[in-house]
Structure 1
Amino acid sequence: MAAVLEPYIYEGGIHKHTLITELLEDLGGYLIQKIPAATEVTLIMLIPKKDVHLVEELGKKLLGKLTPAPLTGTEIAVVSPTLAVHHLPHSACDVAEHLRRDGANTNMIGLARGMGRRVALSADYERRLINEHDIALFSFGTFADCIKNKKPKLFEGIEIPIVVTGGPDLLTEDVPNADVYIGNIGRVAHRLRKSEELSSLDIMNRKVAEVVGIMREDLSKDPLAVLPPRVMKEIYEQIPEIEQVLTPAPVTLQLDGLRVKLPYDEFHGKVENLEFDEGTRLMELARVLPSKMKDYILIKIKRESEVGFAL
């Protein structure tokens, strides 16, 4: 039986942080992302549940801090009707940043272009791009009527869970087709730094984590043929060119797959032919597709029931 992996973030000094990564590898965990910053380092990890205390003890010896990161392994689209410069500062920036603090990878998507909202989400390309993510979080403004009656049109064609933030204090049922609504996060003329605003962002993270929990529970009923972090590990070991990618998170985990930030035409063959220790190739376990984001590679892993076995 595969070990249950728990998501955590380690924050500490860069000195001797390799002791953490070495222990993680020995325990059978996965390092999702390493973010160095001067003398500090942030490690986003998946740790076997029964061994979390070992990493925590070592972290304390190194004067670091280990905290749960329930959104690790998810990619969230933070969607705004517009991200035009004359509409900034925009709360979507703080929304995306706060989600990242709990381990999520976020992509900000502004819909309006040219003449404005009349053409927002008018192209099927935009829907396909949003649907490549695990969750779509729509960041709206401060008018209740607009959120309830006009903006839900933007949800048409969105097939993933929809989370909505806005200024008014509304019920989720008030916003058609939304899975979750979080109030008190509207458009303001400043960064969200007040205590009540930060509390609203904390509530947002908790509710998004609840949605992720439901999605993970659904996956557990019919597990993936291979865990996304294991595929990520094989990519780093078998495709050395990934080390030369300068964009953040060259391999971005999703709940049911990965986004690989390498050109599809040049590298999809290498990705499809990734070989696991069991002798299986990735093409047998997943669909390797061209992403709508630039020319990246999108991997969607098949379920165990579809493949007939799981690694």
Structure 2
Amino acid sequence: MILVPVTYKGGVYRLDEIVDYIEDLGGYIVQRHNIANEVILQVLMPQDDIEGLKEFSRPLAGEVMSSPLVGTEIAVVIPSLEIHHLPHSACDVAEYLRSNGSKSNILGMARGFGKRISQINDEERDLINEHDMAIYVLGNFASCIEKKFPKLRRGVTVPIILTGAPDKETLEKQTDPPVAGYVGGLGRFMHRTQTEADIHRLDVVIAEVERVIEQRRAELSHDPLSVSPARIQDMIKQEIPEIEEVYSPSPIAVQLTGLRVKLAYADYAQRIRDLVIEDDVKVGDVADVLPSRMRNYILIRIRPLSETNIVV
């Protein structure tokens, strides 16, 4: 069963019927946002039932739209958070990703500045690799990007989108081997992205991210996961009530191939491994439950069908 990411926007009136409809069809609510009297549901649900949800929600003035970034976690990587290397567009990029359904984290490197001394350490590399994708937000000078980027990407295995002030063709010439995507015309500037031209830059970033994410989903479809990440999220919410006491944004971050659970690894990892998915199949049988490099959180990596011979 192929689960498709969509966003539902509507009012609180008869919202429980919408939620029941989604769940009855085998869908999962990844995130819910309440904004005054409006509710936004980020949903993964079967592709064949999308039109049915649109028809069901029409009398309630609800809107269902495609959201390819729902169910992803993306790292926005910048060379430094020091005041000497600001301003940059990283915050706007990260927020725009969130508004389009993704969970984004900004990672400022400890020693990412300087053509001669820039570097990436093991912790930064491992943390980036825990995400579905990394967006490198670099600066204005092509020569600087050419010198620094090979050092900053060393050991990173997830798809990378490179952004900077030089145009796309220049960025492509400066990267060997090539990365998954490029966005030019987005360097450092002294204002927030408020003008029409600035918003267009962010739209270009989102379009490139969506293209790469769809490619990644297509690759995963050839060797599907043993269980949907959204299903494990649903189980954790039902079986481990302590997750409701986590006040961090997105206590469970759903990814393309797993989840990040914001509970202490030492206390909850084994409980998650022992959760029964179906019959005698446990989470530990189809996924690796690992310590995350992000604080003391839990990282769940779901194994593909080719490794487990199980689909639940």
TM over 0.5: yes
Deviation at 1:194, TM superposition (A): 1.6
- Partner residue of 2:218? 217
- Partner residue of 1:65? 63
Aligned-partner residue type, residue 135 of structure 1: M
Check the 8 A contact 1:287/1:300 in 2, yes or no.
yes
- Partner residue of 1:192? 193
Aligned-partner residue type, residue 199 of structure 1: H
- Partner residue of 1:175? 174
Deviation at 1:87, TM superposition (A): 4.4
Change over 3 Å in CA distance of 1:53–1:124 after alignment to 2? same
RMSD value over aligned CA atoms? 1.8
| Alignment of 1:295 onto 2:296 | yes
- Partner residue of 2:131? 133
- Partner of 1:276, secondary structure, is strand
- Partner residue of 1:264? 265
- Partner residue of 1:236? 237
Distance 1:33 1:120 in 2: 37
Gaps of 5+ in 1: none
Distance 1:308 1:26 in 2: 27
TM-score, normalising length from structure 2?
0.93
Distance 2:87 2:146 in 1: 24
Distance 1:227 1:290 in 2: 20
Check the 8 A contact 1:112/1:119 in 2, yes or no.
no
Change over 3 Å in CA distance of 1:57–1:119 after alignment to 2? farther
Q: What are the within-5 Å matches in structure 2 for residues 1-311 of structure 1?
A: 2=1, 4-85=2-83, 87-112=85-110, 117=114, 121-171=119-169, 172-176=171-175, 177=177, 178-311=179-312
Mean Cα displacement is larger for which, 85-94 or 195-204?
85-94
Check the 8 A contact 1:152/1:175 in 2, yes or no.
no
Aligned-partner residue type, residue 175 of structure 1: Q
Distance 1:66 1:279 in 2: 36
Deviation at 1:121, TM superposition (A): 4.3
Gaps of 5+ in 2: none
Cα deviation 1:23-54 (Å, max 9, x = unaligned): 10111111000011222221100122121122
Distance 2:86 2:245 in 1: 33
Identity of aligned residues (%): 43
- Partner of 1:12, secondary structure, is strand
Deviation at 1:86, TM superposition (A): 5.1
